[in-house]
Amino acid sequence: MGKPTGFMEYSRQTQTERNPKERTNDWTDYTLPMSDAEVQKQGARCMDCGVPTCHTGTDINGSTSGCPVYHLIPEWNDLVYQGNWKEALKREHLMNNFPEFTGMACPAPCEGACVLGINEPPVAIRTVERAIIEKGFDEGWVIPEPPLFRTGKKVAVIGSGPAGLAAAAQLNKAGHYVTVFERSDRVGGLLTYGIPEMKLPYSVVKRRVDLLIEEGITFITNTEVGKDYPVASLKSEFDSVILCGGATVPRKVEIPGRELKGVHYAMDFLHPNTKSLLDSNHQDGNFISAEGKNVIVIGGGDTGTDCIATSLRHNCKSLTQFDIYDKKADERDVLNNPWPQFPIIHRTEYGQKESAAVFGKDPRAYAVMTKKFVGDKNGHIKEVHTIQVKVIIDENGNRIRKEIPNTEKVWPADLVLLAIGFSGPEQGLLQQLEVETNSNSTVKAAYGNYQTNVDGVFSAGDMRRGQSLIVWAINEGREVARECDRYLIGSSVLP
């Protein structure tokens, strides 16, 4: 522990954000780097706890506490404070193949489990994590490390999101020949087309993918296995298959008027926006534009925030975000949401800050339930009808939402974006492979083992566990690689 009194001497400081109004005029990273000295102070705040809870991820009451990839957080915090950045980078990469992804887009359950966070602002773990990897790239320390030998075994990884990339990276380290299939034109899955450019620039994803290519991994894009590439070839050309296709089927919305033009799922809005931006700087027009429109975003999570930030950059006319839940408290409920659970508190994310700067107020409307969509004579959305709700406990102890009389409201709308999550993976390829699924449509494969009912076929990430965090996807990608390695050669040295 380099600074025993660091947590008393220094205040929490995170990545600086650019002016929220000015940054809506571009698609570049909305944050600014901190100086080495500032980051070192944040590392000094780490208390090197005897039993740290930040680095061990687990699910508590349905939410993640701590880091699922078991990051060596106290170690690299101390190394950063000491100025030993290169060694910190080595420790960071030991447990996480892609700290740049988690450093930019993870909600940081590690910080929710930080011991300092019991009564003080927690250590800015994610800020330090990102600073380490960026310094590593800037200094030229992150270089290709191809394996010294090849086993001759061939593995197909289906899907190039964080789980697929982690599995590919680890199996390549073990000396296997790895081919990653991606149906989109660019590698990255939702890292590329689900998270907007200003939050996770594609250059960051491509930078890492280029390294993986130099290390010997083959990527095949614009190819959907089971459609463009036959399953029969998959079975004949590879010794093992890992399914990491994600949970891309959106939750079904059964609201009257759902079929109206102008009502879209969030990913149908975000994906084409990023593709058009990367392809032509939006000159091709192949995206859903919010320009000049009254936009309603339904859903209070990260994807809803991304829809807000994207709509603002299109120069929308107005913006409202519906949250079915009441506004949360600013501090955690120590009885119902005690440490080290992830703190369920009110947060204002980058998109809400930008909306407040542009329109003068936070865009969120709380405890709002959508009753129906109403269209004009051309079948295009023009109104959203809502009612306020409250949560009550019924006679059986169940939490139910009850409509509050006389709270109906009509909202003008030209574009409605449904950001209410995903129900599970697509079934086509799974059916062709005859892979068994659970009642919720996810692949039936035990955590820690990852083998499906089909010999040599494994699954990991959201396709197996359902919609989850990037850091869980990396965790499962690394672990499924270990199990696949054991299947192929009888043992494994992978962690």
- For the chain, the residue count is 495
Which two three-digit tokens encode residue 413?
Answer: 């709308």
Contact 385, 370 (CB under 8 A): yes
CB burial class (10 A; 0-12, 13-18, 19+) of residue 273?
buried
Which two three-digit tokens encode residue 265?
Answer: 């799922």
Report the distance separating Cα 274 and Cα 175, nearest Å: 34
Which two three-digit tokens encode residue 159?
Answer: 């899907």
Which pLDDT does position 2 carry in this prediction? 67
Which pLDDT does position 1 carry in this prediction? 62
3-state secondary structure of 229: strand
Q: Please, what is the angle between helix 470-489 and helix 162-173, to 10°? A: 40
Which pLDDT does position 370 carry in this prediction? 97
Taking only the tens place, the pLDDT of each residue in 172-223 is 999 999 999 999 999 999 999 999 999 999 999 999 999 999 999 999 999 9
Which pLDDT does position 365 carry in this prediction? 98
Which pLDDT does position 393 carry in this prediction? 84
Could you tell me the domains of the chain? 6-138 (1.10.1060.10), 154-249+423-489 (3.50.50.60), 252-420 (3.50.50.60)
Task: Give pLDDT < 70 ranges for the chain.
Answer: 1-2
Residue 402 belongs to what H/E stretch?
strand 399-403
Rg (CA), the chain: 23
pTM, full prediction? 0.96
Which backbone phi and psi does 310 adopt, to 5 degrees?
-70, -45
Contact 219, 183 (CB under 8 A): no
Residue 51 falls in which region: left (phi positive, over 0), alpha (psi -120 to 50) or beta: beta
Angle ∠(252,439,472) on CA atoms, nearest 5: 80
Question: What are the start-end ranges of the H helices in 340-466?
Answer: 350-359, 428-433, 462-465
Taking only the tens place, the pLDDT of each residue in 378-428 is 999 999 999 999 988 888 888 899 999 999 999 999 999 999 999 999 999
Which pLDDT does position 3 carry in this prediction? 86
Residues 6+ apart with CB under 8 A from 203: none
Residue 472 falls in which region: left (phi positive, over 0), alpha (psi -120 to 50) or beta: alpha
Which pLDDT does position 395 carry in this prediction? 84
